Amino acid sequence: MRDSDDNTNPGRRQFLQCMAWAGAGTLWLMQGGVLRAQALTGQGAKEAADASFAFVQISDSHIGFHKAPNMDVASTLRASLAMVNAQKVRPDFLLHTGDLTHLSRPDEFDTLTGIMQEARVDKTFYVPGEHDVIGDNGAEFFRRFGEKQQAGGWYSFDHRGVHFVGLINVLNLKAGGLGSLGADQLAWLKKDLASLSASTPVVVFAHMPLWSLYPEWGWGTDDSAEAMNLLKRFGSVSVLNGHIHQIQQKVEGNITFYTARSTAYPQPAPGVGPAPGPMKDVPPEALHSYLGIREVRHVRGSQALALTDEVMS
């Protein structure tokens, strides 16, 4: 890791200048129960002032990856967190929606932990990606980053009138690599939601998409329909995922699904090319337009969360 800290190399300096733009992100604003996504570019000051709170989603940092198109994923993650720290209104917390590391190695988790300490937020919540559970079924991830509310690792919390649910769908993958929630987690979710009023805004976050985005590439969750049946009575449900390294959105009734960009590298659009994986031909000067994070703000009084996504330019 010593080489990655050496800024004296001219080629590395040029690369880091490009990467300074790659840490673009999304600020989630909760406005009247409506989730609104906004780029971390200093715009939308009025919306930020009107919000009752904000949080930031980051995803797929893949610490340990060092191939094209991004030879320094630690720097792009740092650039993302620097943009979070530059916000005039400090986000209440961070959500990391998985694939913290690339190979679940202890040194990768160590590096990730050190970088995440640079974020000036009170709390960071995590769910694992499939890259975080390699070899040990997630034992090391859950030891370091788990909330420890339930034996299976899933959990929930309430924040200023909004109910947040962190689900685990990267263990026991199904045919074709589809995610799975499992009977125990679904039973817990039913119990967790039972006491909530239908007017409570709900934000669900997990790594793999909780809708059938592109099952041919494993971009979905085998039993997600059962979870959505439990959520459909609520007036505002926002579902945040990572995994596919790009923004896709779908609306089903009162449930809106959002996937997030990676802070590491982009993947092709669904069905474009033979398989998913890093888009190796993206030049360094264009990488910033594919990477990002998401910020969300909430304002009491409205029924839904409003969202916008932008890239850095």
The predicted structure's pLDDT at residue 39: 59
Q: Is the pLDDT reported for residue 18 higher than 80?
A: no
Confidence of residue 36 (pLDDT cuts 50, 70, 90): low
Q: How many CA atoms lie within 13 A of 90 on its CB side?
A: 8
Confidence of residue 206 (pLDDT cuts 50, 70, 90): very high
Cα 64 from chain centroid (whole Å) = 18
Across the chain, mean pLDDT equals 84
Strands (E), the chain: 26-31, 34-39, 53-58, 93-96, 124-126, 155-159, 162-166, 202-205, 237-241, 249-252, 255-259, 294-298
Name the residue with higher pLDDT: 19 or 193: 193
Q: Is the pLDDT reported for residue 14 higher than 80?
A: no
Mean local confidence (pLDDT), 45-66: 79
Q: Is the pLDDT reported for residue 217 higher than 80?
A: yes
Q: Is the pLDDT reported for residue 53 higher than 80?
A: yes
Mean local confidence (pLDDT), 129-148: 97
- From CA 269, how far away is CA 10, in angstroms rounded? 34
Q: Is the pLDDT reported for residue 2 higher than 90?
A: no
pTM of the model: 0.86
Q: What pLDDT, in 10s, does the model give residues 72-117?
A: 999 999 999 988 888 777 889 999 999 999 999 999 999 999 999 9
- From CA 169, how far away is CA 178, in angstroms rounded? 9
Q: What pLDDT, in 10s, does the model give residues 220-245?
A: 999 999 999 999 999 999 999 999 99
Q: What pLDDT, in 10s, does the model give residues 269-307?
A: 999 999 999 999 999 888 978 888 777 766 655 555 554
